[in-house]
Amino acid sequence: MTELVLDHVSVRFTLPGATVAAVNDVSLRVRPGECLALVGESGCGKTVLAHALLGFLPGNAQTSGTATLTGDGPPLDLLATPDAVLAKTVRGRRVGLIPQSPASHLTPVRTARAQLEEAVRVHHPSDPAPRDHAHRVAARAGLSPADLDRYPHELSGGLAQRVANALALVGDPWLLIADEPTTGLDRPLVDGLIAEFRRMVTDGRAVLLITHDLAAAHRIADRIAVMYAGRIVEIGPTADVFDTPRHHYSRGLVNALPDRAFTPIPGGPPLLTDLPAGCSFAPRCDQVVPVCAERPTLTDDDHAYACHVPC
């Protein structure tokens, strides 16, 4: 069975005089036929984790743990797989990526059509009509044929996002990692993207949605993993995390929604160069007790949380 299993994954960046602990001991499983949303404030490590899975980290990064992708062929530890193998057998084929800031990932001197047709030829070399294939994928992403004749600098933010979405869908990957895919899209296009994700899930594939938009996660995801200061602090079925959050950070995120209490979480996250020894959320939490000086671990159940005094 195809699945992705992360086991104690950590990512560190070495800087002059400091170490950035961007991802800390993350363990989770992405299952076939589900959308898992990874949510949390900007800077909590969500995008770094995605880049680690696809080998897009800079040279000063150090990783530990394993990220095992099973399915076609022998299991692959994505953190230990050489870049040439990732490029040839994983990226775009088994794992697709909708990047954050998509315009910066497009080739500036080629039209959207040229880039999309090239992706079709790479992933489907036997297709006799790459242009028709490109048009079909573009339509799934909400693009018209006229949109494809534009260069990246001629695309609005929303159109650039749609082109990135189309490029990620070309290879029909088993797992789609979508990093803030609804940014810049109006409601009808968000609805279309959600429908596309649900089609993938119905077909037995998987979506890892990375977002700080809890409202979008609520609409799309089957399960939600809440990330804070590089750690997973809660994970469970979407309804459980929204309706009965167990971690106080999760409760704060939910209460900040406009249709809830609309109350912001006080304070700010800790520096990733100077994380507290115990619970990283303790400086912002109104339920701190002495045991919070010790680092909590995730409970071992379907709705897991890492809190000494849960909600």
Angle between helices 112-123 and 157-169 (to 10 degrees): 10
Q: pLDDT tens across 269-310, in order?
A: 999 999 999 999 999 999 999 999 999 999 999 999 999 999
Q: Does 186 or 45 have the greater pLDDT score?
A: 45
What does pTM read for this prediction?
A: 0.93
Q: Does 104 or 3 have the greater pLDDT score?
A: 3
User: Cα separations (Å) of 74 from 37, 57, 69, 154, 228?
Assistant: 27, 24, 9, 43, 33
Quick one: tokens of 225?
A: 């993993």
Provide the domain count of the chain: 1
The pLDDT of residue 158 = 83
What count of Cα atoms within 13 Å lies in the side-chain half-sphere of residue 18?
A: 8
Q: pLDDT tens across 194-213, in order?
A: 888 998 999 999 999 999 88
| Residue 91 resides in a domain | yes
| Residue 310 resides in a domain | no
Give the closest residue to 265 by CA, choosing from 228, 230, 238: 228
Quick one: tokens of 57?
A: 């980290």
The pLDDT of residue 157 = 83
Handedness of CA 36, 309, 240, 44 (dihedral sign): negative
| Residue 193 lies in domain | 4-305
Confidence of residue 256 (pLDDT cuts 50, 70, 90): very high
Contact (CB, 8 A) for 151 and 177: no
Q: Mean pLDDT over residues 155-167, rounded?
A: 88
Number of H helices, E strands in the chain: 9, 11
Q: How far apart are CA 221 and CA 267, in angstroms?
A: 28
Q: Mean pLDDT over residues 218-242, rounded?
A: 97
Q: How far apart are CA 161 and CA 279, in angstroms?
A: 36
Contact (CB, 8 A) for 238 and 250: no
Cβ contacts of residue 44 below 8 Å, gap of 6+? 227, 228, 229, 230, 269
The pLDDT of residue 215 = 85
Task: Tell me the average pLDDT of the chain.
Answer: 93
Q: Mean pLDDT over residues 153-165, rounded?
A: 88
Residue 275's Cβ-count burial label (10 Å; 0-12, 13-18, 19+) is middle
Q: What percent of the chain has pLDDT over 70?
A: 100
The pLDDT of residue 15 = 95
In the predicted model, is pLDDT for residue 241 greater than 90? yes
In the predicted model, is pLDDT for residue 231 greater than 80? yes
Distance of CA 160 to the CA centre of its chain: 18
Contact (CB, 8 A) for 102 and 47: no
Q: Mean pLDDT over residues 40-50, rounded?
A: 94
Quick one: tokens of 181?
A: 């895919």
| Residue 311 resides in a domain | no
Q: Mean pLDDT over residues 167-181, rounded?
A: 93
Q: pLDDT tens across 117-134, in order?
A: 999 999 999 999 999 999
Q: pLDDT tens across 91-114, in order?
A: 999 999 999 888 778 999 999 999
The pLDDT of residue 53 = 97
| CATH code, 217 | 3.40.50.300
Quick one: tokens of 78?
A: 């994505």
Contact (CB, 8 A) for 90 and 76: yes
110-124 b/e (C-beta count within 10 Å ≥ 16 → b): ebbbebbbbbbeebe
The pLDDT of residue 72 = 79
The pLDDT of residue 273 = 95
